[in-house]
């Protein structure tokens, strides 16, 4: 059926709306409607287009995936070569970069734009009359590969530019990358399907973009930020209506035209501020949703850029200040097997010490038996180890070409290396069946019980726990509260003073909270968040202990597996005895304010970000109290943040809040907020 004007109007309206919501989502990072509403619009458009196929145009938001798999990529010659960047690894190198620039320009001051260096792959996007026509990889810089069909599937890349007034031909350059979360999900899926795993998000992004079948690319979580325009267009942009004279203005213009620009970008007056920016970004590297490998500094003024020009494929006006590498090559000296709190056996690679990102790494986790076998890590192998933020270092892969002769594959022991009990296996996890007789499990259980987020017993560390267990001073965690000075004095490095400190810390820990206590019990798969959810839902320990399966799975985030772990835990007589002994020893906590029936807590729907140091409580305590009132607490500021709570020495999160016009609360205001809502 041919579309009448009313249908055509509706189709156009839907396309506009969908493009607008894409812009809100990908460029402004501030979606206006829930996903379901967006999906509804897309479904309606698909439906209308199916009824009236003659209305379909390539730029319609329904036309991201189309066509057949290619046999090969064709070549695209770049109209302007795609250059690379010089690197700096130290402040000194950056300072001499700035000095060279000021000498060449004969000026005292140069303004820079600093941007995070995205760890993905470069892409060139050609727009004609606002419509995406060609997308090409960098290739050798002169010629790249035509990946248009694949790039069209990336939702963050607009098929149509927004508004009007853009040049007839516009080449946008930027980076395609995969978020850390997207990468983890992709690798999990690959493993489940028995397919090859990617070593890091950059390889995953590159592999996903170079698929001959766009339908595969479409399923990969790729994203995009732009960082420049094809050099030839600068001239065009400097004239006519745009009057562009700086890189920063270009980025603003691109954003207005619907191209996503990263938030880690700043216009800075001099190179000193660039170095400050570098440190700021380095400190929040791990919080960012995607990987970055440094910061790029660019001379802001386009005329100055032109004056500086290029040297051997690199601009003189820009430099990449790299972060310390997160990966390094080393050798496996041994593979040990560690026993965790729940008896799970974890193979650990003992490594020749190596510097990774400024820290010496000597151990790396190999996760479990199937991981070791899949990566085929053997004693004597040269391996790539990776350390990212607080995450335990891990072995990424083996360099097979360096494998010595006569190595043997890893075998998981059939007896626990600590207590010799039989090892059982559920799915990929091997477990020691010794539970309480296994000293390793007991030790880990004590460590967990005493840890910061659990009972927070200061000074009760691994060495002390080991001695207490080995000397038979404690069998269960309840025994901790029966210790006296005589039990402690005489242990290694334990004089009267330190013994008193431990006893005081134990005494102090008796005043606790229900979520902490629940978490401290070490129920399988009950972490901080689940403990909090259980406490909020049931309000008291007896209510949790007597809850049945159906009641447990009512709790947000509790599924059948966790529900069964909770039931099994409290069903065990010895656990009931330990809990009673702890209560008899004086452990107390206030009951919780129950989540009201309609699921509306006083602060539900609000998101807070905590930054800086608080005086009256720790950030963790503030977080727990906010969550108990139904608020979300996030690690990063966005336009959706309700308020940033700034303590002393608040840093980049505070400036981000100011930048985005997000409300800022001080500590007194936080306390007022908490007390006004608590029961
Ligand atoms: S500007 C003239 N800005 O780094 C070169 N590049 O090592 C213009 N990259 O090929 C590049 N983030 O793929 C620029 N914010 C950023 C970047 C960035 C990542 C990549 C880009 C380039 C490579 C050079």
Averaged over 145-150, what is the pLDDT? 95
Q: How confident is the model at residue 648 (pLDDT cuts 50, 70, 90)?
A: confident
Whether pLDDT at 185 is above 80: yes
Residue 391 and residue 379 in contact, taking contact as beta carbons nearer than 8 Å: no
What is the rounded distance in angstroms from the CA atom of residue 90 to the CA atom of residue 64?
Answer: 43
What values do phi and psi take at 98, rounded to 5? Answer: -65, -35
| pTM (predicted TM-score) | 0.66
pLDDT at 521: 95
Atom 2, ligand 1: residue with shortest CA distance: 83
The answer on pLDDT for 579 being more than 60 is: yes
| Mean of per-residue pLDDT scores for the chain | 90
C-beta of residue 441 within 8 angstroms of C-beta of residue 465: no
Set out the domains of the chain in order of their start, with CATH numbers: 5-63 (1.10.287.610), 86-322 (3.30.470.30), 327-402 (2.40.50.140), 433-592 (1.10.150.20), 607-678 (3.40.50.10190)
Pocket test for ligand 1, best of 81, 82, 84 (most atoms within 8 A of CB): 84
The pLDDT value given to residue 582: 96
Nearest residue (by CA) to ligand 1, atom 12, is 117
Residue closest to 61 by CA, chosen among 226, 211, 258, 263: 258
pLDDT of residue 165: 79
Among candidates 186, 192, 193, 188, which has minimal Cα distance to 217?
A: 186
- What's the 119 CA to ligand 1 centre distance in angstroms? 9
Q: Which pLDDT tens digit goes with each residue over 207-260?
A: 999 999 999 999 999 999 999 998 545 566 777 677 888 999 999 999 999 999
Q: Round to whole Å and give the CA distance between 41 and 452.
A: 48
Record the tokens describing residue 11, joined without a space.
């189709």
The three-state secondary structure class of 474 is coil
The model's pLDDT over 106-125, given as tens digits with 9 standing for 90+, comes to 999 899 999 999 999 999 99
pLDDT at res. 596? 53
Mean pLDDT of 450-478: 93
Query: Looking at residue 246, what is its pLDDT?
Result: 93
Mean pLDDT within 463-469: 93
What separation in Å is there between the alpha carbon of 259 and the centre of ligand 1?
A: 16
Q: Which of 86, 113, 116, 117, when mutated, tests ligand 1's pocket best, judged by the most ligand atoms within 8 Å of its CB?
A: 117
* The pLDDT of residue 395 is above 80: yes
Cβ atoms within 10 A of the Cβ of 75, count? 12
**pLDDT attached to residue 192:** 86
Tokens, residue 180: 């850390």
Where is 127: in which H helix or E strand? strand 121-128
Which pLDDT score is estimated for 389? 66
Ligand 1 neighbours (beta carbon < 6 A): 83-85, 115, 117-118, 122, 175, 227-228, 296, 315, 318, 320
DSSP secondary-structure letter at 482? G
pLDDT band, residue 597 (cuts 50/70/90): very low
| Residue 117 annotated to the active site | yes
Q: What mean pLDDT do residues 395-417 have?
A: 93
pLDDT at residue 678, rounded to an integer: 62
Query: What is the C-alpha radius of gyration for the chain, rounded to an integer number of angstroms?
Result: 29
The full length of the chain comes to 679
Q: In 312-405, at which residue ranges do the beta strands (DSSP E only) sit?
A: 314-315, 318-322, 327-339, 345-356, 359-365, 382-386, 394-398
Q: Identify whether the C-beta of residue 224 lies closer than 8 Å to the C-beta of residue 175.
A: yes
Measured in Å, residue 155 CA sits from the centre of ligand 1 at 21
pLDDT in tens, 277-325: 999 999 999 889 999 999 999 999 999 999 999 887 899 999 999 998 8
**Which residue is associated with the tokens 């981000």?**
656
Ligand 1 atom nearest residue 122's Cα: 13
Q: State in Å: Cα 321 to ligand 1 middle.
A: 11
User: Pseudo-torsion of CA 229, 231, 232, 233, nearest 10°?
Assistant: 30
Torsion of CA 98, 102, 104, 106, to 10 degrees: 180
- In this prediction, residue 44 carries a pLDDT of 95
Nearest to 589 by CA among 527, 555, 539: 539
- Start-to-end CA distance of the chain, whole Å, equals 63
Say how far apart CA 654 and CA 650 lie, in whole Å: 6
Pocket test for ligand 1, best of 175, 176, 223, 322 (most atoms within 8 A of CB): 175
CA of 524 from ligand 1 middle (Å) equals 45
- DSSP code per residue over 388-448: -TTSPPEEEEE-GGGPPSS-------SB-TTT-PBEEEETTEEEETTGGG-HHHHHHHHHH
Question: Is residue 419 a contact partner of residue 437, using CB atoms and an 8 Å limit?
Answer: yes
Best of 320, 322, 323 for a ligand 1 pocket test (most atoms within 8 Å of beta carbon): 320
Cα of 512 vs centre of ligand 1, distance in Å, is 51
Question: To the nearest whole percent, how much of the chain has pLDDT over 70?
Answer: 97
Distance 120 CA to ligand 1 centre (A): 9
Spatial separation of the C-alpha atoms in residues 353 and 360, rounded to whole Å: 6
Ligand 1 atom 18, closest CA: 117
Output the pLDDT for position 231: 52
139 C-alpha to ligand 1 centroid (Å): 14
∠ CA 493-496-499, rounded to 5°: 70
> Which atom of ligand 1 lies at the shortest distance from residue 119's CA?
19
Neighbours of 67 (CB within 10 A): 12
Residue nearest to atom 23 of ligand 1 (CA): 84
Atom of ligand 1 nearest to the CA of 84: 24
Mean pLDDT confidence for 30-56:
92
Q: Which atom of ligand 1 is nearest to the CA of 265?
A: 15
Tell me how far the alpha carbon of residue 55 lies from the centroid of ligand 1, in angstroms. 39
**Contact by Cβ (8 Å): 175, 120:** yes
Query: Which of 173, 247, 296 to mutate for ligand 1's pocket (most ligand atoms within 8 Å of CB)?
Result: 296
Among the atoms of ligand 1, which is closest to the Cα of residue 228?
1
Return the pLDDT at 364: 94
Task: Please give the torsion angle defined by the CA atoms of residues 653, 654, 657 and 663, in that order, rounded to the nearest 10 degrees.
Answer: 130
Do residues 444 and 344 lie in contact, with contact meaning Cβ atoms separated by under 8 Å? no
User: Which residue has its alpha carbon closest to ligand 1 atom 22?
Assistant: 84
C-alpha span between 577 and 518 (Å, rounded) = 15
- Please choose, from the candidates 599, 591, 622, the residue with its C-alpha nearest in 3D space to the C-alpha of residue 609: 622
| Residue with the larger pLDDT of the pair 437 and 159 | 159
Q: Is 227 buried (19+), middle (13-18) or exposed (0-12) by CB count in 10 A?
A: buried
Confidence of residue 599 (pLDDT cuts 50, 70, 90): low
* 269-274-275 Cα angle (round to 5): 140
Q: Does residue 335 have a pLDDT over 60?
A: yes
Whether residue 679 is predicted with pLDDT greater than 60 in this model: the reply is no
- Among the listed ranges 20-29, 385-394, 471-480, 636-645, which one has the minimum average pLDDT value? 385-394
Q: What is the dihedral of CA 527, 533, 534, 536, to 10 degrees?
A: 140
pLDDT per residue as tens digits for the range 490-521: 888 888 898 999 999 999 999 999 999 999 99
Q: What is the 3-state secondary structure (H, E, C) of 133-195?
A: EEEEECCCCCEEEECHHHHCCCCCCCCECCCCCCCCEEEEEEEEEEEHHHHHHHHHHHHHCCC
pLDDT tens digits, 86-95: 999 899 999 9
462: enclosing H helix or E strand: helix 462-470
Q: Is there a contact between 431 and 368 (Cβ–Cβ < 8 Å)?
A: no
Which residue in 2, 6, 99, 117 is the catalytic one?
117
Residue 403: φ, ψ to 5°: -70, 130
Q: Which residues contact 353 (CB under 8 A, 6 or more apart)?
A: 330, 360, 361, 362
């Amino acid at each position: 059926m041919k579309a009448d004007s009313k249908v055509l109007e509706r189709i156009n309206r839907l396309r506009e709306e969908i493009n607008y919501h894409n812009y809100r989502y990908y460029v402004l990072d501030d979606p206006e409607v829930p996903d379901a509403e967006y999906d509804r619009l897309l479904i309606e458009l698909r439906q209308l287009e199916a009824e009236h196929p003659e209305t379909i145009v390539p730029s319609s938001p329904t036309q991201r995936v189309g066509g057949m798999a290619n046999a090969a990529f064709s070549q695209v010659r770049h109209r302007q070569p795609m250059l690379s960047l010089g690197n700096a690894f130290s402040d000194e190198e950056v300072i001499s970069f700035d000095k060279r620039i000021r000498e060449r320009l004969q000026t005292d001051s140069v303004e820079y734009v600093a941007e995070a260096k995205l760890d993905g792959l470069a892409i060139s996007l050609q727009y004609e009359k606002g419509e995406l026509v060609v997308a090409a990889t960098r290739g050798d810089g002169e010629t790249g590969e035509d990946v248009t069909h694949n790039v069209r599937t990336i939702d963050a890349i607009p098929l149509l530019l927004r508004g009007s007034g853009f040049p007839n031909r516009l080449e946008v350059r930027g980076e395609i990358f995969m978020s850390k979360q997207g990468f983890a999900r992709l690798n999990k899926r690959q493993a489940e399907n028995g397919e090859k795993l990617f070593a890091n998000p950059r390889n995953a992004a590159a592999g996903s973009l170079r698929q001959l079948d766009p339908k595969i690319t479409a399923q990969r979580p790729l994203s995009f930020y732009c960082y420049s325009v094809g050099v030839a267009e600068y001239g065009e942009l400097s004239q006519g209506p745009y009057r562009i004279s700086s890189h920063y203005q270009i980025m603003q213009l691109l954003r207005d035209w619907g191209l996503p620009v990263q938030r880690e970008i700043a216009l800075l007056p001099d190179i000193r501020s660039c170095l400050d920016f570098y440190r700021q970004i380095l400190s929040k590297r791990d919080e960012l949703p995607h990987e970055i490998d440094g910061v790029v500094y660019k001379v802001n003024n386009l005329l100055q850029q032109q004056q500086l020009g290029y040297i051997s494929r690199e601009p003189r006006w820009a430099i990449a200040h790299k972060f310390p590498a997160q990966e390094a090559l080393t050798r496996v000296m041994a593979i040990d097997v560690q026993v965790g709190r729940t008896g799970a056996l974890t193979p650990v690679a003992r490594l020749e010490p190596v510097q990774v990102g400024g820290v010496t790494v000597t151990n790396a986790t190999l996760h479990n038996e199937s991981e070791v076998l899949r990566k085929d890590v053997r004693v004597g192998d040269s391996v790539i180890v990776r350390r990212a933020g607080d995450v335990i270092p891990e072995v990424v892969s083996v360099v097979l070409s360096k494998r010595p002769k006569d190595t043997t594959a890893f075998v998981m022991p059939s007896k626990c290396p600590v207590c010799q009990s039989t090892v059982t296996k559920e799915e990929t996890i091997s477990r020691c069946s010794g539970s309480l007789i296994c000293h390793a499990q007991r030790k880990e259980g004590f460590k967990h019980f005493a840890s910061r987020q659990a009972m927070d017993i200061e000074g009760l560390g691994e060495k002390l726990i080991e001695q207490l267990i080995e000397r038979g001073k404690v069998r269960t965690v309840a025994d901790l509260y029966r210790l006296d000075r005589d039990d402690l004095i005489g242990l290694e490095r334990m004089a009267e003073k330190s013994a008193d400190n431990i006893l005081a810390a134990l005494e102090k820990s008796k005043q606790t909270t229900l979520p902490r206590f629940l978490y401290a019990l070490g129920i399988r798969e009950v972490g901080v968040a689940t403990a909090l959810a259980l406490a909020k839902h049931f309000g008291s320990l007896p209510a949790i202990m007597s809850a049945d399966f159906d009641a447990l799975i009512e709790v947000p985030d509790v599924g059948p597996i966790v529900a069964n772990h909770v039931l099994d835990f409290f069903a065990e007589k010895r656990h009931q005895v330990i809990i009673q002994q702890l209560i008899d020893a004086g452990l107390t906590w206030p009951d919780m304010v129950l989540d009201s029936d309609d699921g509306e807590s006083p602060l539900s729907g609000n998101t807070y970000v905590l930054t800086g140091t608080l005086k009256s409580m720790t950030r963790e305590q503030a977080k727990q109290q906010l969550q108990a009132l139904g608020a979300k607490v996030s690690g990063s500021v966005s336009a959706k943040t309700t308020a940033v709570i700034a303590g002393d020495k608040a840093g980049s999160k505070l400036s981000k809040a100011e930048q985005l016009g997000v409300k800022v609360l001080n500590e007194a205001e936080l306390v007022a907020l908490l007390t006004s809502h608590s029961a």
